[in-house]
């Protein structure tokens, strides 16, 4: 969380229950990928066509009450 905050993200949360909580809530998991790595982000961005946004843009979206998942 500290790293994200240092990059300018101000509303950072931890998922209660960790990976097991995410799985129990029906969250999608990616297998055989080093989750914290840059490669994971690039894989998801490529396969899911997710946008790549600067912290300032994410803050603007959040401030405008847009639905945002990071």
pTM of full prediction above 0.75? no
The residue behind tokens 């300032």 is 56
Domain spans of the chain, in order of start: 2-63
All residues at 6 or more sequence positions from 34 whose CB lies less than 8 Å from its CB, including other chains: 40
The answer to whether the CB of 30 falls within 8 A of the CB of 43 is yes
Over the stretch 32-55, which tens digit does the pLDDT of each residue have? 655 567 777 788 888 888 878 888
Cβ neighbours, 10 Å, residue 47? 9
Using CA atoms, how far apart are residues 35 and 14, in angstroms rounded to an integer?
15
Over the stretch 7-37, which tens digit does the pLDDT of each residue have? 888 888 888 898 889 889 998 877 765 556 7
């Amino acid at each position: 969380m500290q790293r994200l905050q240092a990059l300018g993200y101000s509303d950072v949360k931890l998922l209660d229950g960790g990976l097991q909580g995410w799985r129990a809530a029906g969250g999608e998991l990616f297998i055989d990928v080093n989750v914290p790595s840059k490669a994971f982000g690039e894989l998801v961005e490529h396969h899911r066509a997710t946008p790549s946004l600067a912290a300032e843009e994410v803050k603007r979206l959040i401030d405008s009450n847009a639905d945002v998942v990071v």
